[in-house]
Amino acid sequence: MVEEKTEKNYIRVAAGQIHYRHCAGSGTALVCLHQTASSSAMFARLMEVYAGPHPIYALDTPGFGGSYDPPGQPSMAAYADTLVEALSALGIDRAHLFGHHTGASLAVEIAARYPQLAASLIMIGPVVINADEAQLFKQVYPKDFSPRADGSHLKLMWDYVGEIGGSGSLALQQREFVDTARAWQGHIKVYSEIWDQDFCALYQQVRCPLMIMCSPDDVLWTLFERAKSMRPDARAVELGGTNFQPDEVPEDIAAAVAEFVADL
C-alpha cells in the first residue's frame, strides 16, 4: 500500500506549516510540486512505484492540501521562496525539481532564481504561453468555486474535476474534488498570479538539465512543441493520460524520471 512506503508530516516555515509526503531513499532528493487545485496526494502512486534510489518529497503549496493559507495575494516568487524555505528546513540544499502544471511554473521559478538548488528540472505541461494566450487563460481560470448556501458550488467542482480527466476513476474524482473544495481560495490566488509569470523567460534562463513531458489529452498539449523548440536541449517525453498523469501512468513517469536523473 502507498502508506507503507510514504510518510506524511509537517515542516514549519516563517508563515506557517507546510504539509508534505516523504518517501525515504539516498542521494539527491526528488521534489514534487503539484498542479492546481490538487495536493501532494497526486504524487502518491508515483512515489509507490518509483524504483530509483532517491528520496522523494511532495509538498503542498500554501493554500492547498494540508499547508497553511497564505494571507493577502502572494506572488509566484513568494510561493517559490516559501517552498525553498521549507526545503531548507528539511535539510535539502540540492534537488531534482519535478513540477506538474502550476507545479511546473513554481519549479521553473525556483530553478531560475535558485540555480544552486536545482540539480535538474522536470516538468509535465510546461506553461510556455505568450501575452495573448495568457489573456485567454485568464478568461477560463480561475473558476468561481466560492461556497454557496444551496451547495451548488459542490456540483460545479465535481463536474469540473470530471471534465479535466478525473472522471476516469471515481476514487480519483473524489480525491480531486475534496482537494478542490479545500483550495477554493488558494485556487483563485495562484491563478491570479500564474498567467502574469514570464514563464518563457525563466525557462530560457534555466541552466540545469531539463526534461519535459506532456500528453495529447493534456490541456497544455498545444504548447508542447513550442516548449521543445525553445529548449532543444531538453529531453522530451510523450505520455498517456489526461491532466492527472501521475495517477494515470505512474509507471511510465517513474521510469522516465529514474532514467533521466540516473544520467546526472
Residue-range domain boundaries for the chain: 2-130+198-262
Mean pLDDT of 10-39: 97
Buried b (16+ CB within 10 A) or exposed e, 38-75: bbbbbbbbbbbebebebbbbbbbbbbbbbbbebeeebe
- Summarised one tens digit per residue, pLDDT across range 112-171 is 999 999 999 999 999 999 999 999 999 999 999 999 999 999 999 999 999 999 999 999
Mean pLDDT of 183-212: 97
Give the pTM.
Answer: 0.97
Q: Starting from the edge strand earliest in sequence, which strands make up the sheet with 118-124, in order?
A: 6-13, 16-23, 56-59, 29-33, 95-100, 118-124, 210-214, 235-238
Residue 101 has pLDDT above 70, yes or no: yes
Angle at 213 between CA 40 and CA 128, to 5 degrees: 95
Residue 21 has pLDDT above 60, yes or no: yes
Long-range contacts at 117-120 (CB < 8 A, ≥ 24 apart): 117/84, 117/87, 117/93, 118/94, 118/206, 118/208, 119/28, 119/94, 119/95, 119/208, 119/209, 119/261, 119/264, 120/96, 120/208, 120/209, 120/210, 120/211, 120/260, 120/261, 120/264
Beta-bridge partner residues of 56: 23, 30
Beta-bridge partner residues of 212: 123, 236
> Containing H/E element for 16?
strand 16-23
Mean pLDDT of 244-254: 98
What pLDDT was estimated at residue 15? 97
What pLDDT was estimated at residue 263? 82
Q: Collect all residues with Cβ–Cβ distance below 8 Å to 67 and sequence separation of at least 6.
A: 16, 17, 18, 19, 59, 60, 61
Mean pLDDT of 209-236: 98
2-130+198-262, which class in CATH? Answer: alpha beta
Grid cell, residue 236, equals 522530451
Grid cell, residue 63, equals 493554500
Mean pLDDT of 67-94: 98
Give the mean pLDDT of the chain. 96
What pLDDT was estimated at residue 3? 46
What pLDDT was estimated at residue 4? 61
Residue 2 has pLDDT above 80, yes or no: no
What pLDDT was estimated at residue 5? 81
- Summarised one tens digit per residue, pLDDT across range 29-52 is 999 999 999 999 999 999 999 998
Beta-bridge partner residues of 7: 22
